[in-house]
Structure 1
Amino acid sequence: MSIKTLQATDLPAFLSAIQASHRLIAPVRDGDLVTLGPVTDPADIVPAADYINPRLSFKEFLFPKSEPILRYGRGGDAFDLTDASTTFPPTVVFGCRPCDAASLPIMDALYNWDYKDEFWNARRETTTVVAIACTRADESCFCTALGGSPSGTAGADILLVPTAPDAYLAEVLTDRGQALIALAPSAFGDHTGGDLTDDKQAASQPALDLLPPALDLDGISQWLADHFEDERWAAYSHKCLGCGCCTYLCPTCHCFDIVDEGGYKHGQRRKNWDACQFPLCTLHASGHNPRPDQAARWRQRLEHKFNY
Structure 2
Amino acid sequence: MQDWWQDTFPKSRQSITITDANGYPVSIAYGEKGTGKPLILVHGIGSWSYGWRYNIEPLSQHFKVIAFDAKGNGFSDKPAYPDQPGHQAIELARIIQSLCDEPALVVAESLGALTALACVESHPELFEKLVLINVPIFPQGIPNRGMQVLSSIPLDLIKIVDQLRLASFFSPLVRYIFAIERQDVVVDATAITEEDVYWITYPYIEFPNTITKYTEDLQHAAIEIQRLQQKLPSLIGDIQENLGKITCPTLILWADKDNWFPVKDGEKLQRFIPNSRLEILNNCGHDAAATCPDQVNQRIIEFLCDR
**TM, length-normalised to structure 1:** 0.25
Which structure has more helix as a fraction of its residues? 2
Which of structures 1 and 2 has the larger relative contact order (alpha carbons within 8 angstroms, sep 6+)? 1
**TM, length-normalised to structure 2:** 0.26
